[in-house]
Chain A
Protein backbone atom coordinates (compact mmCIF):
# COMPACT_ATOMS: atom_id res chain seq x y z
CA UNK A 1 0.00 0.00 0.00
CA UNK A 2 1.51 3.28 -1.00
CA UNK A 3 1.27 6.36 1.15
CA UNK A 4 2.26 9.99 1.00
CA UNK A 5 4.97 11.26 3.29
CA UNK A 6 4.89 14.94 4.09
CA UNK A 7 7.89 16.68 5.64
CA UNK A 8 7.44 19.95 7.45
CA UNK A 9 10.62 21.88 8.18
CA UNK A 10 9.80 23.53 11.49
CA UNK A 11 13.35 24.85 11.44
CA UNK A 12 15.15 24.82 8.10
CA UNK A 13 18.67 24.82 9.54
CA UNK A 14 21.68 26.81 8.34
CA UNK A 15 21.44 25.93 4.65
CA UNK A 16 19.07 23.20 3.53
CA UNK A 17 18.31 22.65 -0.12
CA UNK A 18 16.88 20.07 -2.50
CA UNK A 19 19.57 18.50 -4.65
CA UNK A 20 19.92 15.78 -7.24
CA UNK A 21 22.48 15.20 -9.97
CA UNK A 22 22.06 18.75 -11.28
CA UNK A 23 20.90 20.21 -14.58
CA UNK A 24 22.90 19.61 -17.70
CA UNK A 25 22.90 20.96 -21.23
CA UNK A 26 22.09 24.60 -20.34
CA UNK A 27 25.52 25.85 -19.31
CA UNK A 28 25.84 27.80 -22.60
CA UNK A 29 23.17 30.12 -21.15
CA UNK A 30 25.20 30.67 -18.00
CA UNK A 31 23.13 28.32 -15.82
CA UNK A 32 25.25 26.43 -13.26
CA UNK A 33 24.93 22.63 -13.10
CA UNK A 34 24.13 22.66 -9.38
CA UNK A 35 23.35 19.35 -7.70
CA UNK A 36 24.46 17.61 -4.51
CA UNK A 37 28.03 18.52 -3.51
CA UNK A 38 28.67 15.08 -1.99
CA UNK A 39 27.33 12.79 -4.72
CA UNK A 40 28.60 9.69 -2.97
CA UNK A 41 26.56 10.47 0.16
CA UNK A 42 23.51 11.31 -1.96
CA UNK A 43 23.72 8.03 -3.86
CA UNK A 44 24.27 5.95 -0.75
CA UNK A 45 21.29 7.59 0.95
CA UNK A 46 19.09 6.81 -2.04
CA UNK A 47 20.28 3.22 -2.23
CA UNK A 48 19.29 2.72 1.44
CA UNK A 49 15.65 3.57 0.70
CA UNK A 50 15.42 1.73 -2.61
CA UNK A 51 15.53 4.83 -4.81
CA UNK A 52 17.50 5.19 -8.02
CA UNK A 53 20.87 6.83 -7.18
CA UNK A 54 20.11 10.34 -8.42
CA UNK A 55 16.67 10.81 -6.88
CA UNK A 56 16.54 14.19 -5.11
CA UNK A 57 17.66 14.42 -1.48
CA UNK A 58 17.80 17.12 1.14
CA UNK A 59 21.29 18.54 1.51
CA UNK A 60 21.75 19.99 4.99
CA UNK A 61 24.72 22.07 6.03
CA UNK A 62 26.52 22.67 9.36
CA UNK A 63 23.35 23.11 11.40
CA UNK A 64 20.59 20.68 10.56
CA UNK A 65 16.82 21.18 10.40
CA UNK A 66 13.94 20.13 12.64
CA UNK A 67 11.51 18.09 10.60
CA UNK A 68 8.09 16.70 11.47
CA UNK A 69 6.44 14.03 9.37
CA UNK A 70 2.90 13.27 8.31
CA UNK A 71 2.14 9.91 6.74
CA UNK A 72 4.33 6.83 6.41
CA UNK A 73 7.54 6.19 4.61
CA UNK A 74 11.24 5.44 4.80
CA UNK A 75 14.24 7.73 4.98
CA UNK A 76 18.01 7.42 5.32
CA UNK A 77 20.66 9.84 6.52
CA UNK A 78 24.24 9.89 5.25
CA UNK A 79 27.23 12.24 5.23
CA UNK A 80 28.16 14.53 8.10
CA UNK A 81 27.30 13.51 11.67
CA UNK A 82 24.76 16.01 12.98
CA UNK A 83 23.65 13.71 15.82
CA UNK A 84 20.15 13.10 14.43
CA UNK A 85 17.40 12.24 16.92
CA UNK A 86 14.08 10.68 16.05
CA UNK A 87 11.43 11.49 18.67
CA UNK A 88 14.19 12.37 21.14
CA UNK A 89 16.13 9.12 20.66
CA UNK A 90 19.41 8.79 18.79
CA UNK A 91 18.85 7.42 15.31
CA UNK A 92 21.47 5.71 13.17
CA UNK A 93 22.85 7.21 9.99
CA UNK A 94 23.66 4.97 7.02
CA UNK A 95 20.59 2.84 7.73
CA UNK A 96 16.98 2.70 6.47
CA UNK A 97 14.67 4.40 8.99
CA UNK A 98 10.92 3.75 9.09
CA UNK A 99 8.87 6.90 9.59
CA UNK A 100 5.37 7.11 11.03
CA UNK A 101 2.94 9.99 11.18
CA UNK A 102 3.84 12.47 13.93
CA UNK A 103 7.51 11.52 14.05
CA UNK A 104 9.96 14.32 14.65
CA UNK A 105 13.53 14.33 13.37
CA UNK A 106 15.97 16.80 14.88
CA UNK A 107 19.53 17.51 13.80
CA UNK A 108 22.20 19.38 15.72
CA UNK A 109 25.47 21.04 14.73
CA UNK A 110 27.80 19.00 12.55
CA UNK A 111 30.20 17.09 14.80
CA UNK A 112 32.24 15.79 11.89
CA UNK A 113 31.87 16.65 8.21
CA UNK A 114 29.90 19.58 6.85
CA UNK A 115 26.93 18.24 4.87
CA UNK A 116 24.43 15.50 5.60
CA UNK A 117 21.90 14.07 3.18
CA UNK A 118 18.37 12.81 3.77
CA UNK A 119 16.82 10.52 1.20
CA UNK A 120 13.13 9.68 1.16
CA UNK A 121 11.91 6.48 -0.47
CA UNK A 122 9.58 7.41 -3.32
CA UNK A 123 8.74 10.00 -5.86
CA UNK A 124 9.10 13.69 -5.02
CA UNK A 125 6.18 15.95 -5.68
CA UNK A 126 8.08 19.19 -6.11
CA UNK A 127 8.75 21.33 -9.14
CA UNK A 128 11.29 20.22 -11.64
CA UNK A 129 13.12 22.87 -13.65
CA UNK A 130 15.20 21.93 -16.68
CA UNK A 131 15.08 18.24 -15.79
CA UNK A 132 16.33 18.75 -12.25
CA UNK A 133 14.84 19.25 -8.80
CA UNK A 134 17.95 21.02 -7.54
CA UNK A 135 17.42 24.35 -5.82
CA UNK A 136 18.61 27.29 -7.86
CA UNK A 137 19.06 30.95 -7.00
CA UNK A 138 17.81 31.72 -10.52
CA UNK A 139 14.30 30.77 -9.46
CA UNK A 140 12.65 33.16 -7.04
CA UNK A 141 12.73 31.88 -3.46
CA UNK A 142 14.13 28.57 -4.55
CA UNK A 143 17.76 28.75 -3.54
CA UNK A 144 17.24 27.18 -0.13
CA UNK A 145 14.43 25.97 2.11
CA UNK A 146 13.00 28.23 4.78
CA UNK A 147 11.40 27.68 8.18
CA UNK A 148 7.89 26.31 7.67
CA UNK A 149 8.47 24.93 4.16
CA UNK A 150 7.02 21.52 3.44
CA UNK A 151 7.69 18.77 0.94
CA UNK A 152 5.67 15.82 -0.19
CA UNK A 153 6.88 12.46 -1.43
CA UNK A 154 4.74 9.65 -2.82
CA UNK A 155 6.16 6.77 -0.80
CA UNK A 156 7.43 3.57 -2.36
CA UNK A 157 6.37 0.23 -0.94
CA UNK A 158 8.61 -0.20 2.12
CA UNK A 159 11.80 -2.19 1.63
CA UNK A 160 13.61 -4.33 4.20
CA UNK A 161 15.78 -2.18 6.45
CA UNK A 162 19.29 -1.94 5.00
CA UNK A 163 22.46 -0.96 6.74
CA UNK A 164 25.51 0.37 4.89
CA UNK A 165 28.66 -1.53 5.90
CA UNK A 166 30.75 0.34 8.48
CA UNK A 167 33.90 -0.37 6.51
CA UNK A 168 32.55 1.55 3.52
CA UNK A 169 31.43 4.65 5.40
CA UNK A 170 33.61 7.74 5.15
CA UNK A 171 35.52 8.95 8.19
CA UNK A 172 35.75 12.73 8.36
CA UNK A 173 38.83 14.53 9.58
CA UNK A 174 39.99 18.12 9.92
CA UNK A 175 42.90 17.73 7.56
CA UNK A 176 42.70 16.34 4.05
CA UNK A 177 44.79 15.53 1.02
CA UNK A 178 42.91 16.43 -2.14
CA UNK A 179 43.99 14.97 -5.45
CA UNK A 180 44.17 17.28 -8.45
CA UNK A 181 45.23 17.17 -12.09
CA UNK A 182 46.87 20.17 -13.76
CA UNK A 183 44.52 22.91 -14.90
CA UNK A 184 44.44 24.76 -18.25
CA UNK A 185 46.71 27.61 -17.05
CA UNK A 186 49.07 25.43 -14.98
CA UNK A 187 51.99 26.31 -17.25
CA UNK A 188 51.50 30.03 -16.63
CA UNK A 189 52.73 29.62 -13.07
CA UNK A 190 56.40 29.70 -12.15
CA UNK A 191 58.05 26.89 -10.25
CA UNK A 192 58.11 28.72 -6.85
CA UNK A 193 54.32 29.20 -7.02
CA UNK A 194 53.71 25.65 -8.20
CA UNK A 195 55.88 24.26 -5.41
CA UNK A 196 54.13 26.49 -2.94
CA UNK A 197 50.73 25.32 -4.18
CA UNK A 198 51.61 21.70 -3.48
CA UNK A 199 53.61 22.26 -0.28
CA UNK A 200 51.37 24.67 1.54
CA UNK A 201 48.68 23.66 3.95
CA UNK A 202 45.63 25.77 3.13
CA UNK A 203 42.66 26.37 5.43
CA UNK A 204 39.07 26.59 4.26
CA UNK A 205 37.92 30.22 4.57
CA UNK A 206 34.73 31.39 6.23
CA UNK A 207 33.34 32.65 2.93
CA UNK A 208 32.90 29.17 1.56
CA UNK A 209 29.61 27.94 0.17
CA UNK A 210 28.05 25.90 -2.61
CA UNK A 211 29.58 28.22 -5.21
CA UNK A 212 33.10 27.70 -4.03
CA UNK A 213 35.61 27.30 -1.23
CA UNK A 214 37.93 30.21 -0.62
CA UNK A 215 41.19 29.00 0.81
CA UNK A 216 43.34 31.00 3.21
CA UNK A 217 47.01 31.04 2.31
CA UNK A 218 48.50 33.03 -0.57
CA UNK A 219 50.95 31.66 -3.09
CA UNK A 220 54.35 33.15 -2.38
CA UNK A 221 55.31 36.25 -4.44
CA UNK A 222 52.38 35.80 -6.78
CA UNK A 223 51.28 38.37 -9.31
CA UNK A 224 49.15 37.52 -12.36
CA UNK A 225 51.20 37.36 -15.56
CA UNK A 226 48.45 38.52 -17.91
CA UNK A 227 44.76 39.22 -17.98
CA UNK A 228 42.98 35.99 -18.82
CA UNK A 229 40.23 35.87 -21.42
CA UNK A 230 37.10 34.59 -19.62
CA UNK A 231 36.63 30.88 -20.17
CA UNK A 232 34.56 27.96 -18.87
CA UNK A 233 34.63 26.46 -15.42
CA UNK A 234 33.89 22.90 -14.39
CA UNK A 235 33.14 21.69 -10.86
CA UNK A 236 36.42 21.27 -9.01
CA UNK A 237 38.34 23.92 -10.92
CA UNK A 238 40.93 25.56 -8.68
CA UNK A 239 41.56 29.14 -9.72
CA UNK A 240 44.05 31.61 -8.25
CA UNK A 241 42.78 35.10 -7.47
CA UNK A 242 44.89 38.18 -8.18
CA UNK A 243 45.91 38.19 -4.51
CA UNK A 244 47.19 34.62 -4.89
CA UNK A 245 44.45 32.77 -3.00
CA UNK A 246 43.10 29.52 -4.37
CA UNK A 247 39.34 29.06 -4.80
CA UNK A 248 37.88 25.61 -5.39
CA UNK A 249 34.81 26.13 -7.58
CA UNK A 250 31.82 23.94 -6.81
CA UNK A 251 28.41 23.03 -8.23
CA UNK A 252 26.76 26.46 -7.95
CA UNK A 253 29.74 28.41 -9.32
CA UNK A 254 29.24 30.67 -12.29
CA UNK A 255 29.89 28.92 -15.61
CA UNK A 256 32.77 31.16 -16.68
CA UNK A 257 35.61 32.97 -14.98
CA UNK A 258 38.69 35.02 -15.65
CA UNK A 259 41.24 33.86 -13.06
CA UNK A 260 43.96 31.41 -14.10
CA UNK A 261 42.98 27.79 -13.47
CA UNK A 262 45.95 26.08 -11.85
CA UNK A 263 44.40 22.68 -11.13
CA UNK A 264 41.24 20.57 -11.06
CA UNK A 265 40.10 18.39 -8.20
CA UNK A 266 39.46 14.83 -9.39
CA UNK A 267 35.75 13.95 -9.38
CA UNK A 268 36.08 11.28 -6.70
CA UNK A 269 37.57 13.78 -4.23
CA UNK A 270 34.79 16.33 -4.70
CA UNK A 271 32.73 14.37 -2.17
CA UNK A 272 35.54 14.93 0.34
CA UNK A 273 35.74 18.65 -0.44
CA UNK A 274 31.99 18.85 0.18
CA UNK A 275 32.57 17.67 3.76
CA UNK A 276 35.28 20.23 4.59
CA UNK A 277 34.18 23.12 6.73
CA UNK A 278 35.69 26.53 7.46
CA UNK A 279 38.92 26.07 9.41
CA UNK A 280 39.66 22.59 8.04
CA UNK A 281 43.09 22.13 6.48
CA UNK A 282 43.99 20.70 3.12
CA UNK A 283 46.96 19.96 0.93
CA UNK A 284 46.81 19.38 -2.80
CA UNK A 285 48.40 16.32 -4.33
CA UNK A 286 49.18 16.27 -8.04
CA UNK A 287 48.34 13.17 -10.01
CA UNK A 288 48.53 12.63 -13.76
CA UNK A 289 45.61 11.98 -16.10
CA UNK A 290 47.04 8.49 -16.63
CA UNK A 291 46.69 7.70 -12.92
CA UNK A 292 42.94 8.18 -13.05
Chain B
Protein backbone atom coordinates (compact mmCIF):
# COMPACT_ATOMS: atom_id res chain seq x y z
CA UNK B 1 0.00 0.00 0.00
CA UNK B 2 1.26 3.45 -0.86
CA UNK B 3 -0.12 6.94 -0.22
CA UNK B 4 1.44 9.63 -2.36
CA UNK B 5 0.63 13.21 -3.27
CA UNK B 6 -1.07 13.40 -6.67
CA UNK B 7 -0.45 16.91 -7.97
CA UNK B 8 -0.73 19.62 -5.31
CA UNK B 9 -4.36 19.05 -4.31
CA UNK B 10 -4.92 15.31 -4.33
CA UNK B 11 -3.67 12.04 -2.89
CA UNK B 12 -3.39 8.67 -4.55
CA UNK B 13 -3.71 5.50 -2.50
CA UNK B 14 -2.51 2.43 -4.40
CA UNK B 15 -2.95 -1.02 -2.93
CA UNK B 16 -1.21 -4.05 -4.50
CA UNK B 17 -0.56 -3.65 -8.22
CA UNK B 18 -3.02 -6.34 -9.29
CA UNK B 19 -6.68 -6.59 -10.29
CA UNK B 20 -8.45 -8.72 -7.71
CA UNK B 21 -11.72 -8.61 -5.78
CA UNK B 22 -9.88 -8.48 -2.49
CA UNK B 23 -7.77 -5.48 -3.47
CA UNK B 24 -10.74 -3.71 -5.06
CA UNK B 25 -12.76 -4.28 -1.86
CA UNK B 26 -10.14 -2.36 0.11
CA UNK B 27 -10.44 0.52 -2.36
CA UNK B 28 -14.22 0.59 -2.08
CA UNK B 29 -14.23 0.31 1.72
CA UNK B 30 -11.83 3.24 1.96
CA UNK B 31 -13.98 5.16 -0.51
CA UNK B 32 -17.10 4.61 1.64
CA UNK B 33 -15.33 5.80 4.78
CA UNK B 34 -13.87 8.93 3.15
CA UNK B 35 -17.19 9.73 1.46
CA UNK B 36 -18.54 10.72 4.87
CA UNK B 37 -15.85 13.35 5.46
CA UNK B 38 -16.09 17.00 4.40
CA UNK B 39 -12.37 17.20 3.84
CA UNK B 40 -12.43 15.70 0.36
CA UNK B 41 -14.09 17.09 -2.73
CA UNK B 42 -13.69 14.25 -5.20
CA UNK B 43 -13.07 10.53 -4.84
CA UNK B 44 -12.30 8.19 -7.73
CA UNK B 45 -12.25 4.52 -6.82
CA UNK B 46 -10.49 2.40 -9.47
CA UNK B 47 -9.36 -1.24 -9.69
CA UNK B 48 -6.57 -1.02 -7.13
CA UNK B 49 -6.37 2.68 -6.32
CA UNK B 50 -8.34 5.56 -4.85
CA UNK B 51 -7.78 9.11 -6.05
CA UNK B 52 -8.64 11.58 -3.31
CA UNK B 53 -9.22 15.25 -4.11
CA UNK B 54 -8.32 17.19 -0.98
CA UNK B 55 -10.28 20.27 0.03
CA UNK B 56 -7.32 22.50 0.75
CA UNK B 57 -9.42 25.21 2.40
CA UNK B 58 -9.89 22.68 5.23
CA UNK B 59 -6.47 21.04 5.53
CA UNK B 60 -3.09 20.44 3.94
CA UNK B 61 -2.02 17.38 1.94
CA UNK B 62 0.14 16.30 4.89
CA UNK B 63 -2.78 16.49 7.33
CA UNK B 64 -5.06 14.65 4.92
CA UNK B 65 -2.39 11.98 4.39
CA UNK B 66 -2.16 11.13 8.08
CA UNK B 67 -5.97 11.06 8.34
CA UNK B 68 -6.16 8.55 5.45
CA UNK B 69 -3.22 6.56 6.83
CA UNK B 70 -4.98 6.20 10.18
CA UNK B 71 -8.09 4.83 8.49
CA UNK B 72 -6.09 2.31 6.49
CA UNK B 73 -4.30 1.21 9.66
CA UNK B 74 -7.64 0.67 11.36
CA UNK B 75 -8.66 -2.70 9.92
CA UNK B 76 -12.14 -2.45 11.40
CA UNK B 77 -12.99 0.67 9.43
CA UNK B 78 -11.80 -0.98 6.24
CA UNK B 79 -14.03 -4.00 6.67
CA UNK B 80 -17.05 -1.80 5.87
CA UNK B 81 -18.76 -3.23 2.84
CA UNK B 82 -21.16 -0.50 1.71
CA UNK B 83 -24.45 -1.64 0.29
CA UNK B 84 -23.55 -4.11 -2.39
CA UNK B 85 -26.39 -4.97 -4.75
CA UNK B 86 -26.59 -7.87 -7.16
CA UNK B 87 -28.33 -7.07 -10.45
CA UNK B 88 -29.57 -9.16 -13.33
CA UNK B 89 -29.04 -7.28 -16.57
CA UNK B 90 -31.08 -8.33 -19.59
CA UNK B 91 -28.92 -8.59 -22.69
CA UNK B 92 -29.86 -9.28 -26.29
CA UNK B 93 -27.05 -11.15 -28.03
CA UNK B 94 -28.46 -10.63 -31.52
CA UNK B 95 -25.91 -9.95 -34.27
CA UNK B 96 -27.62 -6.63 -34.92
CA UNK B 97 -26.61 -5.57 -31.39
CA UNK B 98 -23.39 -7.56 -31.23
CA UNK B 99 -21.53 -6.83 -34.46
CA UNK B 100 -18.35 -8.45 -33.08
CA UNK B 101 -19.93 -11.77 -32.03
CA UNK B 102 -18.27 -13.49 -35.01
CA UNK B 103 -14.86 -11.99 -34.24
CA UNK B 104 -15.13 -13.06 -30.59
CA UNK B 105 -16.19 -16.51 -31.69
CA UNK B 106 -13.14 -16.75 -33.98
CA UNK B 107 -10.73 -15.36 -31.35
CA UNK B 108 -12.02 -17.73 -28.67
CA UNK B 109 -12.66 -20.78 -30.82
CA UNK B 110 -16.16 -20.98 -29.29
CA UNK B 111 -19.49 -21.18 -31.11
CA UNK B 112 -21.86 -18.19 -30.86
CA UNK B 113 -24.07 -20.12 -28.42
CA UNK B 114 -21.06 -20.98 -26.28
CA UNK B 115 -19.97 -17.33 -26.17
CA UNK B 116 -23.43 -16.31 -24.95
CA UNK B 117 -23.70 -19.24 -22.57
CA UNK B 118 -20.30 -18.41 -21.05
CA UNK B 119 -20.97 -14.67 -20.80
CA UNK B 120 -24.27 -15.26 -18.95
CA UNK B 121 -22.96 -18.01 -16.67
CA UNK B 122 -20.67 -15.81 -14.57
CA UNK B 123 -21.28 -13.21 -11.91
CA UNK B 124 -19.17 -10.11 -12.47
CA UNK B 125 -17.98 -7.52 -10.05
CA UNK B 126 -18.20 -3.82 -10.86
CA UNK B 127 -14.61 -2.77 -10.20
CA UNK B 128 -14.98 0.87 -11.10
CA UNK B 129 -16.86 3.47 -13.14
CA UNK B 130 -14.90 5.58 -15.58
CA UNK B 131 -14.27 6.52 -19.22
CA UNK B 132 -17.71 8.14 -19.53
CA UNK B 133 -20.32 8.75 -16.82
CA UNK B 134 -21.74 5.42 -15.68
CA UNK B 135 -19.43 3.14 -17.68
CA UNK B 136 -18.86 0.11 -15.44
CA UNK B 137 -15.68 -1.93 -15.77
CA UNK B 138 -16.76 -5.45 -14.79
CA UNK B 139 -14.77 -8.62 -14.42
CA UNK B 140 -13.28 -10.92 -14.53
CA UNK B 141 -14.38 -12.72 -17.66
CA UNK B 142 -13.93 -16.49 -17.89
CA UNK B 143 -10.54 -16.99 -19.51
CA UNK B 144 -11.97 -18.30 -22.78
CA UNK B 145 -13.66 -14.92 -23.38
CA UNK B 146 -10.55 -12.80 -22.94
CA UNK B 147 -10.08 -10.93 -26.17
CA UNK B 148 -8.21 -8.07 -27.77
CA UNK B 149 -9.70 -4.67 -28.41
CA UNK B 150 -10.69 -3.73 -31.95
CA UNK B 151 -7.73 -2.79 -34.16
CA UNK B 152 -9.55 0.40 -35.09
CA UNK B 153 -11.92 1.78 -32.45
CA UNK B 154 -15.44 2.67 -33.56
CA UNK B 155 -16.27 6.35 -33.77
CA UNK B 156 -19.67 5.67 -32.26
CA UNK B 157 -20.71 2.68 -30.17
CA UNK B 158 -24.48 2.74 -29.55
CA UNK B 159 -25.81 3.30 -26.04
CA UNK B 160 -26.45 0.04 -24.18
CA UNK B 161 -23.84 -1.96 -26.10
CA UNK B 162 -22.14 -4.71 -24.14
CA UNK B 163 -18.47 -5.15 -24.92
CA UNK B 164 -15.45 -7.26 -24.09
CA UNK B 165 -11.84 -6.11 -23.75
CA UNK B 166 -9.07 -8.10 -22.14
CA UNK B 167 -10.50 -9.63 -18.96
CA UNK B 168 -13.23 -7.01 -18.70
CA UNK B 169 -16.80 -6.71 -19.81
CA UNK B 170 -18.58 -3.36 -19.87
CA UNK B 171 -21.73 -1.56 -20.96
CA UNK B 172 -21.69 1.73 -22.87
CA UNK B 173 -24.12 3.99 -20.94
CA UNK B 174 -24.31 6.44 -23.81
CA UNK B 175 -23.24 6.69 -27.45
CA UNK B 176 -19.46 6.98 -27.31
CA UNK B 177 -16.36 6.16 -29.30
CA UNK B 178 -14.89 2.83 -28.27
CA UNK B 179 -12.71 -0.12 -29.10
CA UNK B 180 -14.37 -2.95 -27.16
CA UNK B 181 -15.65 -6.04 -28.96
CA UNK B 182 -19.44 -5.69 -29.04
CA UNK B 183 -21.43 -8.85 -28.33
CA UNK B 184 -24.89 -7.57 -27.39
CA UNK B 185 -27.00 -4.75 -26.04
CA UNK B 186 -29.06 -4.10 -22.93
CA UNK B 187 -32.32 -2.15 -23.05
CA UNK B 188 -31.57 -0.72 -19.58
CA UNK B 189 -30.58 2.89 -19.05
CA UNK B 190 -27.24 2.48 -17.32
CA UNK B 191 -26.94 6.23 -16.71
CA UNK B 192 -29.55 8.95 -16.67
CA UNK B 193 -28.71 12.43 -15.37
CA UNK B 194 -32.40 13.09 -14.66
CA UNK B 195 -32.77 10.05 -12.42
CA UNK B 196 -32.24 10.25 -8.67
CA UNK B 197 -29.93 7.25 -8.87
CA UNK B 198 -28.05 8.45 -11.94
CA UNK B 199 -25.85 5.41 -12.41
CA UNK B 200 -27.55 2.04 -12.16
CA UNK B 201 -24.32 0.41 -11.02
CA UNK B 202 -21.78 1.50 -8.46
CA UNK B 203 -18.33 0.13 -7.67
CA UNK B 204 -18.60 -3.12 -5.69
CA UNK B 205 -21.97 -4.19 -7.14
CA UNK B 206 -22.40 -7.64 -8.69
CA UNK B 207 -23.85 -8.25 -12.13
CA UNK B 208 -25.18 -11.24 -14.00
CA UNK B 209 -26.38 -11.07 -17.60
CA UNK B 210 -29.58 -12.77 -18.72
CA UNK B 211 -30.00 -13.48 -22.45
CA UNK B 212 -33.25 -12.09 -23.89
CA UNK B 213 -34.72 -12.30 -27.38
CA UNK B 214 -35.39 -9.19 -29.45
CA UNK B 215 -39.08 -9.18 -28.48
CA UNK B 216 -38.35 -9.10 -24.77
CA UNK B 217 -35.68 -6.45 -25.40
CA UNK B 218 -38.35 -4.24 -26.99
CA UNK B 219 -40.88 -4.92 -24.21
CA UNK B 220 -38.35 -3.98 -21.53
CA UNK B 221 -37.57 -0.77 -23.44
CA UNK B 222 -41.27 0.08 -23.51
CA UNK B 223 -41.59 -0.67 -19.81
CA UNK B 224 -38.65 1.63 -19.05
CA UNK B 225 -40.12 4.42 -21.17
CA UNK B 226 -43.48 4.14 -19.40
CA UNK B 227 -41.88 3.86 -15.99
CA UNK B 228 -43.20 0.42 -15.07
CA UNK B 229 -39.98 -1.58 -15.40
CA UNK B 230 -38.74 -3.20 -12.23
CA UNK B 231 -35.08 -3.96 -11.91
CA UNK B 232 -34.29 -7.60 -11.22
CA UNK B 233 -31.94 -8.17 -8.30
CA UNK B 234 -30.57 -11.32 -6.73
CA UNK B 235 -30.96 -11.76 -2.99
CA UNK B 236 -27.80 -12.99 -1.34
Give A contacts to B, CB under 8 Å.
Answer: 24-31, 33, 129, 138-139, 181, 183-184, 229-237, 254-257, 264-267, 289, 292
Contacts and interface: CB of A to CB of B under 8 A. Distances in A.
B229 interface: no
A129 B31 CA distance: 23
A138 B193 contact: yes
Interface residues of B, number: 42
B14 to A, nearest CB: 7
A264 B19 contact: no
23 contacts: A24-B42, A25-B41, A27-B44, A28-B44, A28-B45, A33-B42, A138-B132, A138-B174, A139-B193, A183-B6, A183-B7, A184-B4, A231-B48, A232-B6, A234-B10, A236-B7, A254-B130, A256-B44, A256-B128, A264-B8, A266-B7, A267-B7, A292-B8
A129 B193 contact: yes
Contact of A230 (B18, B61, B128): B128
A30 B129 CA distance: 5
A156 to B, nearest CB: 25
Contacts of A289: 5, 8, 61
Contacts of B193: 129, 138-139
B46 A231 contact: yes
Interface stretch (B66-74, B93-101, B113-121, B196-204): B196-204
Contacts of B12: 184, 231-232
A236 B6 CA distance: 10
Nearest to B18: A229
B8 A229 contact: no
Given A33-B42, A254-B131, A234 B51 contact: yes
A184 B203 contact: no
Contacts of B129: 28-30, 255
B42 A229 contact: no
Nearest to A136: B193
B171 interface: no
Contact of A256 (B7, B46, B198): B46
B42 A27 contact: yes
Contact of B51 (A29, A229, A231, A267): A231
Contacts of B128: 230, 256
B145 to A, nearest CB: 18
Contacts of A236: 7
B137 interface: yes
